């Protein structure tokens, strides 16, 4: 995976619809529903090669949005998702008609992924980017024991748990929410650090960290209590140490209908009962 570095990309701007004719690339999940939607949209609008496109329309669920954004790393092509899956939190409603007008009116959300560096034994480290979260998970029946440092300072000498994760604001409504972590609005410049089924300290519910914080997880008793590290869908098993921080040199852009923007969805999710 390319871990793009360099100066941060300029703020995203929703594309002007006029030059978009023939410059839209469609990608679809491997499902019958997404495949049927792809065929209908290709017939109506064509399908540009990715290297010639100015915008990508992703047809599927949140998993396809993450996969598409990973494919776009370093290019910052805007991605407009239409839900042909199940949850679709990061997607817009699917409609065949009026796509050009919807793209012209779309609001852009700028995101920065997390950078994970995982160490396994004495070998080289493994690096990956995560748009949702970086999670550490126990591999066996034994609970994991993990030490947590933030900006070089030990904050927990021993967390006994099924796992622990660091999430982006966009990912705070995914695994982080399932683990009872807080939902973070976009632009809050915070990263939730959330335990997964913590046994000790029993009352520790996690922390909110500044977006620029550097988090280090040291796996204690790694041979007896092996742990895997996962950055979105990149998994590294038997890790000894994992370093996580936000990578602001990489910018991702998602497009949303004005009445259903990502910031609004994140706020609305906090009032869902």
Q: Consult the annotation and say whether 170 binds a ligand.
A: yes
φ, ψ (nearest 5 deg) of residue 185: -65, 150
Q: Consult the annotation and say whether 173 binds a ligand.
A: yes
Q: Consult the annotation and say whether 174 binds a ligand.
A: yes
Q: Consult the annotation and say whether 176 binds a ligand.
A: yes
| Catalytic residue chosen out of the listed positions 16, 32, 51, 62 | 62
Residues 32, 197: Cα–Cα separation, whole Å = 37
Q: Sheet holding 234-236: strands in order across?
A: 207-210, 190-196, 163-167, 133-138, 227-231, 234-236
**Tokens read off for 124:** 């080289």
Query: Which SS3 state, helix, strand or coil, does residue 97 take?
Result: coil
Catalytic annotation present for 259: no
Residues 81 and 64: beta-carbon distance below 8 Å: yes
Residue 235, burial from CB neighbour count under 10 angstroms (0-12, 13-18, 19+)? middle
**Tokens read off for 168:** 């982006």
Q: Consult the annotation and say whether 133 binds a ligand.
A: yes
| % helix, strand, coil for the chain, step of 5 | 20, 35, 45
Q: Consult the annotation and say whether 63 binds a ligand.
A: yes
Return binding residues: 62-63, 132-133, 162, 170, 173-178
Return binding residues for NAD(+): 62-63, 132-133, 162, 170, 173-178
Q: Catalytic residue positions?
A: 62
């Amino acid at each position: 995976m390319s871990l793009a570095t360099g100066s941060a990309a300029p703020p995203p701007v929703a594309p002007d619809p006029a030059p978009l004719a023939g410059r839209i690339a469609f990608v679809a999940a491997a499902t019958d529903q997404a495949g049927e939607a792809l065929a209908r949209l290709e017939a109506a609008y064509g399908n540009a090669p990715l290297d010639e496109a100015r915008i990508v329309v992703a047809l599927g669920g949140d998993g396809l949005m993450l996969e598409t954004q990973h494919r776009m790393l370093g290019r910052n092509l805007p991605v407009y998702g239409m839900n042909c899956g199940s949850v679709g939190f990061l997607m817009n409603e699917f409609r065949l008609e009026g796509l050009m007008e919807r793209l012209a009116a779309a609001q852009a959300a700028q995101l920065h992924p997390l950078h994970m560096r995982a160490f396994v034994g004495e070998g080289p480290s493994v690096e990956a980017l995560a748009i949702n979260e970086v999670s550490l998970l126990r591999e066996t029946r034994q609970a994991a024991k993990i030490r947590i440092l933030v900006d070089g300072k030990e904050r927990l000498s021993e967390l006994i748990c099924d796992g622990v994760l660091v999430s982006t604001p966009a990912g705070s409504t995914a695994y982080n929410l399932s683990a009872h972590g807080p939902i973070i609005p976009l632009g809050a410049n915070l990263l939730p650090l959330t335990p997964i089924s913590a046994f000790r300290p029993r009352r520790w519910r996690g922390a909110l960290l500044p977006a620029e914080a550097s988090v280090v997880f040291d796996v204690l008793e790694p041979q007896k209590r092996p742990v895997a590290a996962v950055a979105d869908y990149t998994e590294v098993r038997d890790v000894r140490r994992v370093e996580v921080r936000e990578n602001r040199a990489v910018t991702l852009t998602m497009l949303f209908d004005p009445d259903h923007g990502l910031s609004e969805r994140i706020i609305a999710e906090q009032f869902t009962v």
